[in-house]
């Protein structure tokens, strides 16, 4: 099909930026040139990748699939070039709000002692599953279940309790613990990409609204605009002077998972996952 790297870079940038204008700016080329590159790619593949109107642009299903694979291909190429020039890069582990709570530092220190030549870098992101699919990380710690068609190998590690997050001056903050019933009539903030509250209220529940990331979540809770329900590790990773975390014993526990591509993208991936299993087995929660 004679597809070139410039075609993949064009589609990756258009999908990321959501517009030809933004993608052209990122790639430092003119909009007409970028449009021609996209049209050339679509002709060579014989499929529409982007649907455009005068006001909107969105990837088609084929475009979305190729967009993610284009990211992986470009990331693999960058890794190969860096490996040739500088040696092997660190293993990259993605996570959303909290990695493994109080297990995180012992896990990474023990790995460093046992594998001094294979460094690991933790990457916090708002959507670690998407970053993993794009090849930006080699594995990801998740508290949500990836889509079945994500092309990932997923393993359950352990489960942890849920906690309620409330403003420090909220009446609930004076309690030793809370229950799901205490959220009735209240607003609950949930993360747009990493919420773990699905299914908590099958017969209706509190009002919910989405926030973009952990910082926004903490802010709306500290100011008293909302409550939050989260995994116990969040309380360890995100202490806040304006937020109090309370046990929520009647809420079901959260499953912690690790996901990786079917074909490992780093030579140390499988060894690190074996190390991860050993550490979490010793401290199951």
pLDDT greater than 90 at residue 187? yes
Q: What is the pLDDT of residue 205?
A: 77
More confident residue, 284 or 77: 77
Confidence category of residue 284, pLDDT binned at 50, 70, 90: low
Q: pLDDT by residue (tens digit) across 262-280?
A: 888 888 999 999 999 998 8
DSSP classification of residue 171: G
- β partners of residue 95: 124
Confidence category of residue 254, pLDDT binned at 50, 70, 90: very high
Q: pLDDT by residue (tens digit) across 52-98?
A: 877 788 999 999 889 988 888 888 787 777 766 666 688 999 998 78
Question: Which tokens hold the place of 48?
Answer: 């529409």
The C-alpha torsion from 123 through 129 and 134 to 138, rounded to 10°, is 50
**Mean pLDDT across the stretch 2-28?**
89
DSSP classification of residue 234: H
Q: Does the fold of domain 162-252 match that of domain 5-84? A: no
Quick one: fold of 88-156+255-282? Answer: D-Maltodextrin-Binding Protein; domain 2 (3.40.190)
Edge-to-edge order in the sheet of strand 91-95: 120-124, 91-95, 139-142, 254-261, 152-160
The answer to whether the CB of 194 falls within 8 A of the CB of 95 is: no
Quick one: fold of 5-84? Answer: Arc Repressor Mutant, subunit A (1.10.10)
Q: pLDDT by residue (tens digit) across 207-246?
A: 889 998 889 999 999 999 999 999 999 999 899 999 999 9
Task: Concatenate the DSSP letters of all residues of 137-153 into one string.
Answer: -SEEEESSPPPTTS-EE
Q: What is the pLDDT of residue 72?
A: 82
Domain ranges within the chain, ordered by starting residue = 5-84, 88-156+255-282, 162-252
Confidence category of residue 47, pLDDT binned at 50, 70, 90: very high
Measure Cα distances from 170 to 109, 173, 227 in Å: 38, 5, 9
Distance of alpha carbon 171 from alpha carbon 180, whole angstroms: 15
pTM > 0.85: yes or no: no
**Mean pLDDT across the stretch 248-258?**
93
The answer to whether the CB of 15 falls within 8 A of the CB of 65 is: no
Confidence category of residue 125, pLDDT binned at 50, 70, 90: confident
218-230 as b/e: b if 16+ CB within 10 A: bbbbbeeebbbbb
Q: What is the pLDDT of residue 283?
A: 66
Min mean pLDDT across 24-28, 80-84, 158-162, 265-269 is at 80-84
Distance of alpha carbon 182 from alpha carbon 170, whole angstroms: 12
- Report the percent of the chain where pLDDT is more than 70: 95
Q: What is the pLDDT of residue 96?
A: 84
The CATH code of domain 162-252 reads: 3.40.190.10
Confidence category of residue 136, pLDDT binned at 50, 70, 90: confident
pLDDT greater than 80 at residue 202? no
Question: Which tokens hold the place of 245?
Answer: 């975390």
pLDDT greater than 90 at residue 260? yes
Confidence category of residue 194, pLDDT binned at 50, 70, 90: confident
Of 224, 97, 242, 240, residue with least CA distance to 160:
97
Question: Which tokens hold the place of 160?
Answer: 């942890």
């Amino acid at each position: 099909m004679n597809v070139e790297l410039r075609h993949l870079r064009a589609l990756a940038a258009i999908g990321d930026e959501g517009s030809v204008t933004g993608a052209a700016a990122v790639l430092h080329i003119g909009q007409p040139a970028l449009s021609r590159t996209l049209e050339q790619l679509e002709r060579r593949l014989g499929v529409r990748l982007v649907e455009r109107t005068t006001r909107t642009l969105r990837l088609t299903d084929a475009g979305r699939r190729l967009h993610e694979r284009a990211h992986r291909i470009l990331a693999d190429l960058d890794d190969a070039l860096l490996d040739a020039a500088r040696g092997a890069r660190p293993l990259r582990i993605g996570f959303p709000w909290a990695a493994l709570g109080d297990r995180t530092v012992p896990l990474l220190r023990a790995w460093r002692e046992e594998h001094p030549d294979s460094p690991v870098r933790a990457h916090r992101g708002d959507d670690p599953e998407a970053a993993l699919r794009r090849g930006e990380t080699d594995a990801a710690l998740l508290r949500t279940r990836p889509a079945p068609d994500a092309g990932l190998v997923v393993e359950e590690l352990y489960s942890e309790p849920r906690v309620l997050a409330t403003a420090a001056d909220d009446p609930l903050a004076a309690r030793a613990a809370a229950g799901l019933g205490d959220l009735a009539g209240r607003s609950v903030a949930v993360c747009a990409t990493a919420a773990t509250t699905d299914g908590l209220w099958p017969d209706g529940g509190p009002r919910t609204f989405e926030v973009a990331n952990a910082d926004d979540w903490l802010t709306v809770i500290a100011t008293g605009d909302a409550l939050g329900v989260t995994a116990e590790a969040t309380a360890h990773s995100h202490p806040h002077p304006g937020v109090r975390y309370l046990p929520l014993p009647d809420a079901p526990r959260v499953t912690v998972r690790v996901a990786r591509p079917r074909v490992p993208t780093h030579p140390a991936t499988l060894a690190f996952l074996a190390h991860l299993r050993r550490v979490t087995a010793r401290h199951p929660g």
